[in-house]
Amino acid sequence: MKTERELKREAGGQPRNGDHLLAAELSAEQNMNMLDGIPNNEKPRVNQNYVILESEVVGHKEFVLAQNPNAPQPYVTWERNMQEDERRGEENFYWGKYFCDPEAAEKNFHDRADGEREYLREYRPSLLESLRKNQEEIARPVAPAGGREKGETAL
């Protein structure tokens, strides 16, 4: 990789169009990509020699899609319980499902995350949803006691 100084020297002291971005990315202090803000100097996350390609957090679980081109089944999806991992101080991926086909692995990755989202929606309603239901119950008119209407009097 060329340094900013080498790039300027090649261009005769003037950076070519677009080289200023390349030079900025190559500088030692540069930590973030100037265009998209993605860290470009962090090591990839690895689990069991599989490099994690995608991850999605749903509730307190994280689902990942990973690849190891040297493995017999090069694609895998895992999940992990983030709360438990924070308590233990390490990542513990479990329930791995292994694939040879990248499309099948990606479909499984999305299906697992969507399944957890559906489970949470059905069995663990959000706080806002619970408050909304309570407000609806409070707003319902209450039937009068004893079956009498307001204006009726007893004989």
Whether 10 is in a domain gets the answer: no
The pLDDT, as a whole number, for residue 104 is 97
pLDDT in tens, 29-41: 445 555 555 556 6
Whether 93 is in a domain gets the answer: yes
The sheet carrying 61-67 orders its strands as 46-47, 50-58, 61-67, 75-81, 94-99
pLDDT in tens, 48-75: 999 999 999 999 999 999 999 999 999 9
The pLDDT, as a whole number, for residue 29 is 45
pLDDT in tens, 75-103: 999 999 999 999 999 999 999 999 999 99
Query: Residue 76 belongs to what domain range?
Result: 46-136
Among all chains, which residue has been given the structure tokens 């190891």? 68
Structural domains in the chain (count): 1
Whether 41 is in a domain gets the answer: no
